[in-house]
Amino acid sequence: MAFQLETLSATPRGCLTLLPGLSERKRYMESILLERMRSWGYKEIVTPIFEYLDTVAPAVTEDLLKSAYKLTDRQSGRIMLLRADITPQIARIATTSLKDVRPLRFSYSLNVFRYEEEHGGRQREIYQIGAELIGVKGPEADAEIISVLSELLEVSGLKDYRIIVSHTEFLEGMLEVIGLTDEYKKIFLSKNISGIEEIQRDGIITSEKAELLKRVFFLYGEEKVLDEVLGLPLNEKAKRAVGELKEICEFLSIYGVNNKVLFDLSEAKGFEYHTGVVFEVVVGELKQPLGFGGRYDTVMEKFGQASSATGFSIDLAQLVELSRIEPPLQPSVYIVDLTGDKRSAVSLAKVLREKGFYVARDIIKRPFRDSIKYAEYEGYNLVIKIDTGYRLEVISTGYSPESLVNKINEILKEVKWQRQ
């Protein structure tokens, strides 16, 4: 039985196609954000789209390995991964080619690929833009990376966002205080209140410890929550985590972004991967976080060199859609040459490009009114018509102010272009 072509998807599910308008917005946003990170000292890096599995596997979580696309290198026979995460790649580079340079500040804008068995609207190809700070430990570094993230969101035009900050060592400390075994930790980490009540009834934890766990679940809010938590029975690890968060607050206040930060001491995302401060970006009613970040000090060790590290990544396609930021309008001209030989249009187009205009020629034969419709559809500001007598006529498409029409008329009086 032959395949019915209409039943086949034109592109793999979850992969992105950016048509010209959106693609231009994405490129413009990308350039703004990379330049802003450069102003903080973060230099752009481009990593390979493939990595050998055995090279990066030690620094990649099991879940990420499962979701990565794998293929065989024809030359060596080794298994390769299609880029699923940029952080392990940067860790590899930082511990090999740049192992003697510290600190390292990297920025990037790259796509990653992850297989989602339960698609749920999530993309398999994700455009990520982000930054990594390597070789600096402590609250000052964490505050810098959070402040860079906040500044990128601000220059993107977002206002309704918050950066939710957590700390893995606080939860680790509370688990030690309560004495939960590994068998029951997942109940706590998933914020399962009914599960906590069940193990209390079974005598696994006391009622006092069950109440303590429930209190931790609601440790969420502005900076004052860090003072409230000090009234709990904390061990040294949990106290140290709270102290680091308070120091971060002080730096964020200096940077002027503390009003965009909330704290969630019950959050367990990144519990196995991160080693301290963890954060995510939430925006309005957006169901998925717009970005993630945090400290990952142990990742470098897996490549043979211990080093502190923190960073973040943002879903660039989502950011472009949310921000509605538009590239600046560039004056654009569409030339329709009715003379027959078309060489006059080539000469005029060259001159106008040198004057800073975007210029395209109508290079197919069709009625003039259809050329006008095409120019309007493509968003050109002006149409220049070269009639059979080699006379020029400037026509506004509706996308151009009167000042632009006057400007192009003045230019056409002055420029030298040849009637071919």
What is the tens place of the pLDDT at every residue in 349-371?
999 999 999 999 999 989 999 99
Verify that 183 and 173 share a domain, yes or no.
Answer: yes
Query: At residue 122, does pLDDT exceed 70?
Result: no
- Contact between 252 and 226 (Cβ < 8 Å): no
Domain presence at residue 40: yes
* Other CB atoms within 10 Å distance of the CB of residue 41: 13
Based on the fold, state whether residues 230 and 343 are members of the same structural domain: no
The sign of the CA dihedral 196, 202, 206, 207 is positive
User: Which tens digit of pLDDT belongs to each residue from 76-111?
Assistant: 999 999 999 999 999 999 999 999 999 999 999 999
Q: Could you tell me whether strands 104-113 and 43-44 are parallel, antiparallel, or unpaired per DSSP bridges?
A: parallel
> Residue 2 domain-assigned?
no
Of 270, 298, 328, the domain-final residue: 328
What's residue 118's pLDDT?
53
- The answer on pLDDT for 384 being more than 60 is yes
- Give the span between the Cα atoms of 284 and 329, in whole angstroms: 29
What is the span of the domain harbouring residue 252?
161-283
In the chain, pLDDT over 90 holds for what percent of residues?
70
Residue 44 CB contacts under 8 Å (≥ 6 apart), including other chains: 34, 37, 38, 106, 107, 108, 109
> Is the bond preceding residue 58 a cis peptide, omega within 30 degrees?
no
β-strands 70-72, 220-221: how paired? unpaired
Q: Are residues 171 and 116 in the same domain?
A: no
Q: Report, as an integer, the average pLDDT of 373-397.
A: 92
Segment 218-236, tens digit of pLDDT: 999 999 999 999 889 999 9
CB 143 within 8 A of CB 248: yes
Q: Are residues 154 and 298 in the same domain?
A: yes
Mean pLDDT of the chain: 91
Q: Identify the three-state secondary structure at position 318.
A: helix
Same domain, 109 and 206: no
Same domain, 41 and 81: yes
Is 195 found in the same domain as 120?
A: no
Q: For residue 1, is it within any domain? A: no
Q: What integer pLDDT is reported at residue 252 of this predicted model? A: 98
Residue 343 sits in a domain of what CATH number?
3.40.50.800
Q: Are 291 and 315 a contacting pair, CB within 8 Å?
A: yes
How many structural domains compose the chain? Answer: 3
Q: What's the DSSP call for residue 396?
A: E
Residues 151 and 166 in one domain: no
Q: Which residues contact 394 (CB under 8 A, 6 or more apart)?
A: 382, 383, 384, 405, 408, 409, 412
Are residue 65 and residue 84 in the same domain, yes or no? yes
Contacts of 380 (CB under 8 A, 6+ apart): 332, 333, 334, 360, 397, 399
| Residue 5 pLDDT class (50, 70, 90 cuts) | very low
- Starting at the earlier edge strand, list the strands of the sheet with 358-361: 358-361, 332-337, 382-386, 392-396
Segment 363-392 mean pLDDT = 93
Residue 265: inside a domain, yes or no?
A: yes
* pLDDT for res 120: 53
- Which domain CATH number covers 90? 3.30.930.10
pTM of the model: 0.91
Alpha carbon distances (Å) from 184 to 98, 181, 199: 42, 6, 8
State how far the Cα of 55 lies from the Cα of 79, in Å rounded to an integer. Answer: 10
Assess whether 171 and 236 both reside in one domain. yes
Would you say residue 170 lies in a domain? yes
Report whether pLDDT(38) > 90: yes
Q: How far is CA 26 from CA 155, 281, 328, 416, in A?
A: 14, 19, 13, 37
pLDDT of residue 235: 95
Three-point CA angle 242, 248, 249, nearest 5°: 90
